Chain A
Amino acid sequence: MAVFTVPNIKLIGIAACVPKQTEDNKNFSLLSENERELFIKTVGIRYRRVAEEGITASDLCFAAAEKLLTDLNWNREEIKILVFITQTPDYLIPNTSSILQEKLKLSKNCLAFDVNLGCSGYVYGLSIVSGLLQNMVGGKALLLVGDISTKTISMQDKSTAPLFSDAGTATALEFALNHDIHFNLQTDGKEFDDIIIPDGGYRNRVSEKSFEVKEYEGGILRNDLAMKLDGLKIFNFALREIAPNINTLLSEKKIEKSSVDYFVFHQANLLMLESVRKKLQIEAEKVPYSLYDYGNTSSATVPLTMLVKLREKLISQKLNLLLSGFGVGLSWGSAYIETENIVCSELIEI
């Protein structure tokens, strides 16, 4: 396991942006009324935010970053790092982070790159940015994390369509002595095709066949340019891996579980997360959920949940947070971070 500590990093602020357009799973026509009730109760997702055609993940992250930079009153010349984590970039080539660097009017002395990660993306992103920033005295960094997963799914696939939602987030970090972040990051590539868009990359290039709609068990219809998600295997994966990952991080870093104020999980599925919570023997009030209102926003769920569920406390208090992301890859990880009176911009809707 990759358990490590990055010193001299402080989380300064977070912001998030979601599309205004809201879909209600109570109206999801591929499920019967009873199935819809059971889905909302069990999976825990009622509303989903759906980006209008033409709005990308980078647009959502840009809006979040603009708001955050204004609220922080940062000098943009001082930002030396911009990392954009997404699986829905503006283009296959070039990297979207360059476009964001220009739109945000950051200096040419700012390094910028994209990272292709989904549900684990926020925790991984924190580790990447922290690793770069740890020796950069006076350095400031922006971690932009977001996806428009609603554009990757078939609306005739009841195994994915009622789950996904769109959001973009921005997190500000800076060099600060005596502030550590602890990580435990893991990967299992054996299961790489449990969540996959088979065609459209360079292994299976787009062809006429890619557009052929195929029927799968349970009346699911999708082509090979849409996301396939093996829900039961991902459910098993989460039950098997998440609690040990967190327990290892806490025990190796000698952190008492009781000293963690909140455990912020990737918002995948309420039943799954409640099972993990019980395995970890965590009190219900220490686990915030945003998925009823915002669904599964892929890489954005962790910072979005922090913002919409913990905003007042993050602004006014010192908090010990355990963040956990897991999914596509398969890739998963946890981070332990201490925050104190951070800037939390109001949620933006566009």
Chain B
Amino acid sequence: MQSEDFIQKFAACFHQTEPASIQAETKFRELEEWGSMLALIVIAMIDGDFDKTITAEDLKSTNTVAELFEVVKKK
């Protein structure tokens, strides 16, 4: 699992946010579009593309996309 691939797929979950604006250090929960719907989409993406299940707590305990990637890697 590569960080770049994860960031690209994470960014593709968003509909209103410019994908290029989402980087490893982006604090995703501060993005205007972030909310419970995006959380569902991200959980489904990680489940489908990386075969890992993350929880709501995992999303709440991480700030940046890189931190989330680390959590997913450890699953």
Find out whether the CB atom of A38 lies under 8 angstroms from the CB atom of B44: no
Roughly how many angstroms separate A271 CA and B42 CA in the complex, as a whole number?
Answer: 11
Roughly how many angstroms separate A337 CA and B51 CA in the complex, as a whole number?
Answer: 30
The B interface is mostly helix, strand or loop, or mixed, namely: helix
Roughly how many angstroms separate A279 CA and B44 CA in the complex, as a whole number?
Answer: 11
**Residues in chain B near residue A236, CB distance under 8 A:** 43, 53, 55-56
The A interface is mostly helix, strand or loop, or mixed, namely: helix
Of A72-80, A227-235, A294-302, A307-315, the stretch lying at the interface with chain B is A227-235
**Would A232 and B56 be within 8 Å (CB), given that A35-B35, A275-B44 are in contact?**
yes
**Residues in chain B near residue A275, CB distance under 8 A:** 44, 47-48
Categorize the interface residue count of chain A: 20 to 34
Roughly how many angstroms separate A235 CA and B48 CA in the complex, as a whole number?
Answer: 13
- How far, in Å, is A253 (CB) from chain B's closest CB? 26
Within 8 A of A (CB), among B1-56: 15-16, 35-37, 39-41, 43-44, 47-48, 53, 55-56
- How far, in Å, is A261 (CB) from chain B's closest CB? 25
Find out whether the CB atom of B41 lies under 8 angstroms from the CB atom of A271: yes
Roughly how many angstroms separate A32 CA and B72 CA in the complex, as a whole number?
Answer: 31
**Would A272 and B44 be within 8 Å (CB), given that A39-B37, A159-B36, A231-B36 are in contact?**
yes
Find out whether the CB atom of A218 lies under 8 angstroms from the CB atom of B36: yes
**Residues in chain A near residue B35, CB distance under 8 A:** 35, 218
Q: Which residue of B lies closest to A236 (CB)?
A: B55
Find out whether the CB atom of B15 lies under 8 angstroms from the CB atom of A235: no
Find out whether the CB atom of A271 lies under 8 angstroms from the CB atom of B44: yes
Roughly how many angstroms separate A35 CA and B41 CA in the complex, as a whole number?
Answer: 13
Roughly how many angstroms separate A320 CA and B5 CA in the complex, as a whole number?
Answer: 40
Is A205 an interface residue, CB under 8 A from the partner? no
Roughly how many angstroms separate A236 CA and B47 CA in the complex, as a whole number?
Answer: 9
Is A20 an interface residue, CB under 8 A from the partner? no
Find out whether the CB atom of A278 lies under 8 angstroms from the CB atom of B48: yes
**Residues in chain A near residue B43, CB distance under 8 A:** 232, 235-236, 239
Roughly how many angstroms separate A270 CA and B16 CA in the complex, as a whole number?
Answer: 20
Roughly how many angstroms separate A279 CA and B41 CA in the complex, as a whole number?
Answer: 16
Is A42 an interface residue, CB under 8 A from the partner? yes
Roughly how many angstroms separate A275 CA and B46 CA in the complex, as a whole number?
Answer: 11
- How far, in Å, is A139 (CB) from chain B's closest CB? 44
Is A240 an interface residue, CB under 8 A from the partner? yes
Q: Digit string of A14-36 for contact with B (CB within 8 Å is 1, else 0)? A: 00000000000000000000110
**Residues in chain B near residue A279, CB distance under 8 A:** 47
Sample 24 A-B pairs with CB under 8 A, ordered by A number. Answer: A34-B15, A34-B16, A38-B37, A39-B37, A42-B37, A42-B40, A159-B36, A218-B35, A230-B56, A231-B36, A232-B40, A232-B43, A232-B56, A233-B55, A236-B53, A239-B43, A239-B44, A240-B53, A271-B40, A271-B44, A274-B44, A275-B44, A275-B48, A279-B47
